[in-house]
Copies of this chain bind each other. A is one copy, B any other.
Amino acid sequence: MPMPDLSYAPELAVSAWFNTAEPLTLEALRGRVVLLHTFQLLCPGCVAQSIPQVQRIERVFAQTDLQVIGLHTVFEHHDAMSSVTLEAFLHEYRIASPVGVDMADGQSPIPVTMRRYGFRGTPSSVLIGRDGSILHQTFGVEEDLAMGARIATTLAAEGSSV
């Protein structure tokens, strides 16, 4: 069985969306730079570090066409992190950008999108170029300076449509 070609970002498999009127697809976002970040609402590192960083990123890059997407990749304590709890979590933490629930298919405790990308845990993040390619995938949290530099370089190098 051949390895999946990871140079292109697999499509999202999402069972429910929050903070967006329409479901999002990477296909429809082709042409824009996308930051996909994964979390679980009971993941301490997500709550303390990655989610606040994402919120800083949204503020600093508000004038660009960067699209930030959150993905709730529940792979443990499934009953504890239902959509009801997620909705209240998004409200309490004032997360206003689109968040999708990674689809559970019953074949694995690990949801579908998480399997497609091979995420090792939460938080993880993927920076996707305008052509849909994966430019950088990371597990954990990088420092703000490096994150800001990578996103800005991507926006600049690929010809921003800002």
Given contacts A80-B84, A81-B88, contact A93 B148 (CB under 8 A): no
Among B77, B79, B87, B145, the residue within 8 A (CB) of A148 is B145
Cβ contact within 8 Å between A42 and B92? yes
A146 on the B face (CB < 8 A):
yes
Contacts of A22 in B (CB 8 A): none
* Chain A 118-144 near chain B by CB (<8 Å), digits 1 or 0: 000000000000000000000000011
Among B43, B80, B87, B157, the residue within 8 A (CB) of A85 is B80
Given A44-B92, A80-B88, A144-B144, 10 other A-B residues pairs in contact with their CB atoms under 8 A: A42-B88, A42-B92, A53-B145, A57-B145, A79-B84, A80-B89, A143-B144, A144-B145, A146-B148, A149-B152
Q: Hey, which bits of chain A sit against chain B, CB under 8 A?
A: 42-44, 47-48, 53, 56-57, 60-61, 77, 79-82, 84-85, 87-89, 91-93, 143-153, 155-157
